[in-house]
Structure 1
């Protein structure tokens, strides 16, 4: 049976997921807000604003009408900036098919509520958690757009939902694995953006591979501590949605968050970087929500704290680096589980 898929959001990632779904044999409609983007996809089979030079499938349709895109959809992927999700979804909710699998393609935490994107979707759409999935992994859009090998995790509390998303996205060049650990897969994607900002700052300051490795590894420890406190499976963070996504985002110049951090490390202000950046670096806004979530659960996240201090409070990047390196001594593994907390020195 051919799946009918809708993707809401015609930025680089939404366009790539729509392409994946087409290449997997699904019938796909992509919703975009801007008429010129939609027209280019329909007429030229290209998204010149976000993926210039990349040929899109001729059977991919695009529209500015959300109701048209959603009609009869079996799978609905949502790829809008995290902090706009609630308002956008409230507008789209009346058109959502009652049995469609609703898929978060976003990597963020909502400011004000500290809710994960899947929680916002369930709340606004009135959908049970079993009908909400997340899709995450080391997914730099440009590489996947040109057909380089890649993979991701489709997570849903209902394994049948995860398998439906797997079927909608598996192609000869892209593998999708399934999971029921929605919390872990989602947190891995959201928090790695914050860590990538910090790695970018270090690169901008001129530091090398040792420093990047330290920040990635200790960043992964922060992700695991927060995930464990929220009930995630710690093994998830050693997989594609954890370490895999973290390595890609922290290592590649294609990463928006790393690039944003590099510019901060070179002396630009957050406002200056935002002014010259066309695409959203989700970690900038989500960092505050991630830190609030951590504090609500009494989880220590020093890298996240320093990123928030730099991005939102005006702390100089060099001072943030000094604060991290001069922290009090700790065992390497601490605060991950209740058992570990009780026996840590």
Structure 2
């Protein structure tokens, strides 16, 4: 395949104490080492990507840098026997967009061990509609099910339900037949959440009261929580006996003011969700689930906004201010 001499990428660079993000022209010598070079068709926007665009985000280690923790594209060069020119592939997590140039670039070069072949029932755009957020939601549900979660046990709460992980979890759980209660602080988004499959919508205050008791009324058979902080403490307090709570985020903070009571008196299970270093064999299986039983086909478009590389800096700022909903896909 004939490759261009140059290509476009979003580059973040430190100017004094500030960080600037702009679309710049790069060449292939600018890319980091890797076994496989990919023509990127789509990337996506995650909270972590927003952090990569600000001075104190604690994501980027060296500047200048190309962020973007997700990408889907087509192999154009490969030194890895597993991948050939023309193969459609996905890369999410590992060091992509953190210490290794990421997906906000028309071309990327990565280690072959980071790559997942695109499943047959997914387009590249659908793969990035899922991205890290969708993979995290799927991993949360998968772990809950491995721990015995079933729709017959009762209502499952999704906190931060208009965000990427929350939107995905709401739609996936609804498809699997769960009664989903979606929590959001955005009153204008109730119709959106109902379209995703939420049976009930509650406010943040309904989930997280001013005073959180060590144990309170048993409301939730389980929960997907990408929020953390006091919200997680309140969820644990209200989880039914033997329920599963999958936590994957910290937008409400890192401190969880809870006690041992939910765990030793109600046998509540707190499941930690890390999508970054999830084992590759299990990662492949989970992407197959995202292309089959966890794929909420009818609402993928409903939760997706498509933008260009030039629009990306503004969107990165918006996701940090909780001004986005669902998933934003970047077309390269």
Q: Normalising TM by the smaller chain, what interval? A: under 0.3
Higher strand share: 2
Higher helix share: 1
How does the TM-score come out when normalised to structure 2?
Answer: 0.27
How does the TM-score come out when normalised to structure 1?
Answer: 0.27
Higher relative contact order (CA 8 A, sep 6+): 2
